[in-house]
Structure 1
Amino acid sequence: MNTNTTIKDIQIISLPRIEDRRGNLSVIEKEVLPYEMKRVYYLYDVPGGAERGGHSHIDQQEFLIALSGSFEVVLNDGEQETTVSLNIPNKGLLIPKGIWRELKNFSSGAVCLVIASDVYLEEDYIRDFDHFIKSKNS
């Protein structure tokens, strides 16, 4: 892989928040992300103590939003690790390719929306952390 992406390339992006007494509205339009949206999926009903993620992508980028509730995203670039808490539905986490991610500490009723830069391709996933570290150094 030999990607130069680091923790510094991760971004929190604020989405527009249109406030109304009937409820708030946020919009994600194609200009918000640095890639074309090709897949949208969401995680929900995650049991207490369960973790999701546990992988990196070779080429795909992802944008994560806590639509409801909260969860933590542990991010690792092969040298540094940081944890980002997501709990505001108009703020999302942009994860570039080449960053290991683990999602944990889901609150009851949490919903994680993911907007991906590509369709599902198993060959784009690195699911073994040791292999990820070796690929960052090759």
Structure 2
Amino acid sequence: MSNLVKLIDLPPLGDDRGSLVAVEANKTVPFDIKRVYYIFGTKPGVARGFHAHKALKQVAVCVTGSCRMLLDNGREKEELLLDSPTKGLVIEDLVWREMHDFTPDCVLLVLASEHYDEADYIRNYDDFLKVVGV
């Protein structure tokens, strides 16, 4: 894997009753968590994302189902299938992200380092390339 893709382990806890994953800021997740959201019910053939953030960092976890993640720092691109509730994908700032091929049951949980701020978004790919100096 490249330096672009960083997966973190989210160890399951549990017993014969089932499993539980604990997510903790600055322990399992490498930053303070200021916002949590999840994406679900994505229609077949719909892709999401298509943006980068100037400062925000995120961890994305497919709680159920799967989706294909494309990460791009302007110099390299990497794709991976996110399909485990015990793996978190760390998405650093200034990384273009796209999400494709959602399964019908996909629930994508996202943990963010900052509160929502529209000014932090870069929504145009050419603008993104200028910001990262490519």
Which 4+ residue blocks in structure 1 deviate beyond 2 angstroms?
none
Q: Which residue does the alignment assign to 2:3?
A: 8
Percent identity at matched positions? 36
Preserved CA contact (<8 Å) 2:71 2:79? yes
Partner of 1:77: 73
* Deviations 1:13-45 (CA, angstroms, capped at 9, x unpaired): 011111422111111112122210000000000
Letter in 2 for 1:111: V
> TM-score, normalising length from structure 1?
0.92
Give the whole-Å Cα distance in 1 for the aligned partners of 2:46 and 2:17.
34
- 1:116 is aligned to 112
Q: Could you say which residue in structure 1 is the equivalent of 2:24?
A: 29
Between Structure 1 and Structure 2, the one with more strand by share is: 2
* Matched position secondary structure for 1:97: coil
| Aligned residue pairs, count | 132
The residue matched to 1:119 in structure 2 has which SS? coil
Aligned to 1:3: none
Structure 1: 5+ residue stretches without partners: 1-6
Scaled by the length of structure 2, the TM-score of the pair is: 0.94
Q: Contact between 2:70 and 2:80, CA under 8 Å: does it hold in 1?
A: yes
Output aligned runs, 1:31-50, within 5 Å: 31-50=27-46
Q: State the partner residue of 1:127.
A: 123
CA contact (8 A) 1:10 1:96 kept: no
| Structure 2 contact 52–97 (Cα < 8 Å) conserved | yes
Cα deviation digits, residues 101-126 of structure 1 (max 9, x gap): 00010001100000000000000000
Instruction: Provide structure 2 residue ranges, at least 5 long, that are not aligned to the other structure.
Output: none
